[in-house]
């Protein structure tokens, strides 16, 4: 069997003995090395030319890429990239500087250098700050890639309270990590927060706070397409005409200045509770429970 195909199916990095065990012959392997298609990283460890450098580093560390370092490999939302590589390692081999995870794996690894998604999420829940792990898990949950009950079952230890608290905040319906962050910000502040609400005559809004304040979150791209921009502004106008004040926040607001976001929301809520009484509200419904 072609050594390149074996390596490609294993993420690009594999022990020499495993390449041979998968069907490659010594002759084929030597030929691939001479041609430059396969590289000897160190004694007994091979990589295909052009292999992912992060997976190569994990292979050299004899570990599995996991936690924040594995988030991009699975297309998970991420607040910030990992400052140091996160590896799951079962041996004493050190790869400084790195963050080492040793929690027993629950799944077969994706391949020799990448932990399976459930273990990546478990490691994140036990390692990262609350919001950083929450956006990763909620992304996987929203895509249908993980059942939170599976994670709960593996977080029953005395030191897992923080992780279980993060899981208790999971919710379906967020279109981006910004919506997840904003929802948690509002609810942790004790503000009644409904998400993905349909309001007749206006359409679906990201948030409805205290039953009258609409909050919309604009991501990095921020609807640069003129047609969408006009549509958003017309919706804002329709909301105002029906008595719903509207606040819009951007990526930098939610990620880097949440205190300012919260202060502005509270200011409008304080004034609006007197100015916009609850009776005679247009009908609306929450699309996600």
Report d(CA 188, CA 183) in Å as an integer.
Answer: 8
CATH architecture for the domain at 177-286: 3-Layer(aba) Sandwich (3.40)
- Ramachandran sector of residue 144 (left: φ over 0; alpha: ψ -120 to 50; beta: rest): left
Q: Give the model's confidence band at 279: pLDDT under 50 very low, under 70 low, under 90 confident, else very high.
A: very low
Peptide bond into 183 cis (omega under 30): no
Q: Which two tokens stand for residue 117?
A: 């998604």
Instruction: Write the burial class of residue 40 (CB in 10 Å: 0-12 exposed, 13-18 middle, 19+ buried).
Output: exposed
Encode pLDDT of 150-196 as tens digits.
Answer: 999 999 888 899 999 999 999 998 889 999 999 999 999 999 999 99
In the chain, the percentage of residues whose pLDDT exceeds 90 is 66
Beta-sheet strand order (sheet of 64-65): 64-65, 86-88, 99-101
**What is this structure's pTM?**
0.86
| Confidence at residue 95, expressed as pLDDT on a 0 to 100 scale | 60
Encode pLDDT of 228-267 as tens digits.
Answer: 666 777 777 788 788 889 999 999 999 999 999 999 999 9
* Selection from 76, 73, 123, 134 nearest residue 100 by Cα: 123
Q: What average pLDDT does this structure show over 75-104?
A: 87
pLDDT of 277 higher than 60: no
Query: Domain residue spans in the chain?
Result: 3-51, 59-167, 177-286
């Amino acid at each position: 069997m072609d050594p390149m195909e074996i390596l490609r199916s294993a993420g690009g990095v594999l022990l020499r003995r495993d390449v041979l065990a998968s069907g490659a012959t010594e002759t084929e392997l030597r030929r691939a090395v001479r041609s430059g298609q396969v590289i000897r990283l160190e004694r007994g460890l091979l990589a295909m030319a052009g292999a992912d450098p992060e997976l190569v580093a994990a292979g050299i560390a004899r570990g599995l890429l996991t936690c924040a370092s594995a988030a991009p490999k699975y297309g998970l939302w991420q607040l910030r990239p990992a400052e140091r590589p996160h590896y799951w390692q079962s041996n004493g081999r050190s790869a400084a500087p790195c963050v080492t995870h040793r929690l027993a794996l629950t799944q077969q690894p994706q391949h020799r250098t990448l932990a399976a998604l459930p273990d990546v999420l478990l490691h994140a829940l036990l390692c990262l700050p609350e919001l950083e792990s929450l956006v990763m898990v909620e992304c996987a949950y929203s895509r249908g890639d993980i059942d939170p009950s599976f994670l709960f079952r593996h977080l029953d230890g005395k030191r897992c309270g923080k992780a279980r608290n993060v899981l208790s905040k999971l919710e379906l319906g967020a279109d981006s990590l910004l919506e997840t962050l904003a929802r948690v910000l509002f609810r942790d502040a004790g503000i009644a927060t409904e998400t993905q609400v349909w309001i007749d005559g206006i359409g679906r809004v990201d948030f409805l706070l205290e039953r009258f304040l609409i909050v919309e979150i604009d991501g990095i791209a921020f609807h640069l397409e003129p047609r969408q921009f006009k549509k958003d502004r017309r919706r804002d106008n329709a909301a105002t005409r029906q008595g719903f004040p509207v606040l819009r926040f951007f990526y930098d607001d939610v990620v880097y200045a949440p205190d300012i976001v919260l202060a502005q929301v509270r200011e409008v809520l304080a004034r609006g509770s007197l100015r916009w009484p609850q009776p005679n509200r247009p009908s609306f419904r929450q699309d996600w429970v």
